[in-house]
Amino acid sequence: MSELSPQTRYPRRDTRQLKVGDVAVGGGAPISVQSMTTTKTADVEGTLQQIYALAGAGCDIVRCTCNEEEAAEGLAQIVPRSPIPIIADIHHQYRRALEAMEAGVQGLRLNPGNIRRPEHIKAVAAEARDRGLPIRIGVNGGSLDPSLYEKHGGLTAEAMVESALQEIAYFDEVGFTDIKISVKASNVALMIDAYRLLADTVDYPLHLGVTEAGPPPAGLVKATAGMATLLAEGIGDTIRYSLTADPVEEVRAGRWLLESLGLRERRGLDLIACPSCGRAEVDVIEVAGNAQKALDGMNIPIQVAVMGCVVNGPGEAREADLGIAAGRKRGHLFVKGEVVKVVPEPEMVDALVEWAQIIADGGVEEALRRKDDSAAAEAEADRALLLDEKGDDANNASEKIQNIRSLDAQTDPGA
């Protein structure tokens, strides 16, 4: 039986669909990756430079702050030149939302904890309705209406979801339904609980994120823990890593997460490598790092494996498109687990680059067609010698099994 596809493993929650510019969100659309610019929006050229860098890294939607009139004026110049849709981030002043829409943005993010007057909320929703623009209700655990903290005895999943529902009620009054929602918290467990509750309550598309996750690597771990858990449950239609880092790193992390779960098609390098052990014949960390640098810029959607020994390497990484395993000062180059060439150790990274290009140009079939007929025999000879020298039972499993059987035979049958 063939292995289940990730889509089968992670059935998606059914939601409504909306459009942010030309990017569909929800309703079975591919999960989109978002980030936010860190420049002053009034700095038109600096902001555009950052937006282009984000788009190049795989960002689908970008958010820009609109916290002052100069920012709205900047958006009027940025939006027509942006390669991806722009969402205006609005906090305390509802007029900024009206100005951002006039500037041409493709969507808004409103924090219901910061704009609380019903007439202001409804004025923005009515204008967005007339323009056909979506709004994200961006609930943040750190900025709820004080009455909700009091009602629920502090910050809880129920308080966050109620904040979103209150905002939806105002939108309903003016007939606005182009809504997506986030209920972000910096506490991962709380964030997961809030999104689960929200997913059980509404059918709007959901924007996932762990707010204020912090710098990598801890921030990456926290954000991944929260978002991956929910994505594996079918919850989530668009995501953002909120890292204290270059926003390009947020986009890369988002793409890697979705590609790792099989929720987006791979668009670049996926390098896998063994963690190394006493059997390793090379410095795996160094070789893997050099391979990453050499292959990253090729923009080839390929999985490449770097393995430290030839004993188990090709077998463990047989599903990789391309890989190399070190042994006896040589590298065994393999394609889909089949050895195609044996090269000197100093040439291993160069060989990976060469054969990655062969696969890019002609596919795996072409790479296998060009294999060296003597490579498999050479590789097997190296492997046999290493097994003879180091053994294939590094953990003495066979001896332990015999001891277990001896103990079992000595056990009193009447015990």
Shortest CA distance to 191 belongs to which of 206, 214, 211, 205?
211
Distances (CA, A) of 195 to 9, 17, 42, 189, 200: 20, 18, 34, 10, 9
Question: 3-class SS at 174?
Answer: coil
Would you say residue 3 has pLDDT above 50? no
Residue type, 381: A
Assign 282 a pLDDT band (cuts: 50, 70, 90): confident
What confidence score (pLDDT) does residue 411 get? 61
Q: Are 63 and 35 in contact (CB under 8 A)?
A: yes
Q: Which two tokens stand for residue 377?
A: 């025999």
Question: Per mean pLDDT, which range of 15-19, 54-58, 147-151, 393-397 is the poorest?
Answer: 393-397
DSSP 8-state symbol, 4: P
Better-scored residue on pLDDT, 134 or 300: 134
C-alpha distances in Å from residue 107, one per residue of 85, 127, 358, 372: 8, 12, 43, 56
Under 8 Å between Cβ of 86 and 62: yes
Q: How many CB atoms lie within 10 A of CB 298?
A: 13
d(CA 111, CA 141): 11
pLDDT bucket at 330, cuts 50 / 70 / 90: confident
pTM: 0.84
Q: Rounded to an integer, what distance in angstroms lies between the CA atom of residue 184 and that of residue 167? A: 16
CB 84 within 8 A of CB 21: yes
Question: Could you read off the pLDDT of 197-256 as tens digits, one per residue?
Answer: 999 999 999 999 999 999 999 999 999 999 999 999 999 999 999 999 999 999 999 999
Q: Which alpha helices (DSSP H) does 233-374 contain, by range?
A: 247-260, 284-296, 313-316, 348-369
* Cβ partners under 8 Å of residue 201, min gap 6: 161, 165
Q: Which amino acid is at 326?
A: A
3 state DSSP class of 103: helix
pLDDT above 50: residue 394: no
Q: Is the pLDDT of residue 358 over 90?
A: yes
The residues with which 334 forms a beta bridge, in sequence order, are 323, 339
pLDDT tens for each residue of 70-94: 999 999 999 999 999 999 999 899 9
Quote the distance between the C-alpha of residue 311 and its chain's center.
33
Amino acid at 247: P
Q: Which domains does the chain have, with CATH numbers?
A: 6-260 (3.20.20.20), 270-390 (3.30.413.10)
